[in-house]
Amino acid sequence: MSAVNIRHLTGGVTAVPGFKAGGVHAGIKKDKLDLAMIYNEKLCSAAGVFTTNLVKAAPLLLTMEHLKGGYAHGLVVNSGNANACNGPQGMADAKAMVKAAAKALGVDEGHMLVSSTGVIGQPMPMDKVITGIEKAAGELSPQGGHQGALAIMTTDTVPKEKAVQLEIAGRTVTIGGMAKGSGMINPNMATMLAFITTDALIGPQALRAALKEAVDDTFNMITVDGDTSTNDMVVVLASGAANHRPIEPKSGEYSAFVAGLKEVCSHLAQAIAKDGEGATTLLEVVVKGAKSLQDARLAARAVTGSNLFKAAVFGRDPNWGRIMCALGYSGAQFNPEKVDLFIGDEQVARDGGGIEFSEERATEILSKDKVTVTIDLKAGQYGATAWGCDLTYEYVRINGSYRT
């Protein structure tokens, strides 16, 4: 397949023609936007990937059930309350949110999805939530994507949006997305919320496969603190409005679509890692020369997840021994006496041992907004990239007072 020409757009979910969105203040939070909706009048192919945490919030379980049919018109999502660990009432509240959204939009309840994020174990203020849903439905707009991205934030410091265009089967296809996440982020699918829209014509089964492929290389390769949440999901809606021939698995059109989907997911994933709670630096770990793709991913994830190395990055300390240590417990198979390590373009270790390098130059590199660590295992032909952030005093402060 030839290289895919991907054009970057401003905006997010409503950069895709036919989709409307909005965000309102329902009163779950004191004064910030806290309820979002995404909607398309066309019945869309729909797919999702969900947290592997055994403890799953009611909205997530309900969305999983609704996605078995493979189609949806849209979703409603609130922030400020996770609706997790609330017993039978939690499921009743999730169903009430879907019912209210479906009624306001005039669609079948089974074709609406629901998501929540925020504090665990707190009752949902349903009177406020239902009023907010009705308000949001009345304010949906083709320009409302940014408001929606604002409304799903919790400890995020910035909204996270991305949109791209590419050509598929002679037609212009647009893919847009929004995400939230800055804490409880760990590569165990998917540990944050992300909602993606597209006008590509693709069936539910192929869409599900494409999403998994994209998630494995992006959202499953980020970590902030090693915690996997109860509510995390990635959902994609495909309206088919681009009206090209249907995308079939293993086709050139499928490969192009996956490339565009990965571009959106990669941008959102890196935005989440960069916005990690208290973070000052985006950490990118590039592993090459691995014996297998699994080994490459294990190695990259271990280094981005090492609290010792994350703390060293915050301290601007080129302590490469912590990288070797993380590689050693990663589960990847390699010969420790062959590993080369680079911080930025400064090589700090060769064949598993220390070499003379410029501490001053390495510290300067570690002081940048984005730091890339390159690891050559020299064991094979596979590679992978993972993203994380430094570990700061501010992370402890934020999470020491998150609920109160």
The catalytic residue positions are 191
The answer to whether 177 and 194 are in contact (CB under 8 A) is: yes
Report how far residue 7's alpha carbon sits from residue 155's, in angstroms, rounded to the nearest whole number: 30
DSSP type of residue 202: B
The secondary structure element, H or E, covering residue 170 is none
Report how far residue 258's alpha carbon sits from residue 107's, in angstroms, rounded to the nearest whole number: 29
Task: Specify burial of residue 3 (Cβ count, 10 A radius: 0-12, 13-18, 19+).
Answer: exposed
Report how far residue 148's alpha carbon sits from residue 22's, in angstroms, rounded to the nearest whole number: 5
Using alpha carbons only, give the angle 32, 37, 40 rounded to the nearest 5 degrees.
Answer: 155
CB atoms within 10 A of CB 135: 16
> For residue 160, which amino acid is it?
K
Report how far residue 188's alpha carbon sits from residue 203's, in angstroms, rounded to the nearest whole number: 26
Report how far residue 344's alpha carbon sits from residue 148's, in angstroms, rounded to the nearest whole number: 36
CB atoms within 10 A of CB 87: 10
Taking the C-alpha atoms of 182, 183, 187 and 189 in order, what is their torsion angle to the nearest 10 degrees? -90
> For residue 33, which amino acid is it?
L
Residue 22 — φ and ψ, nearest 5°? -170, 165
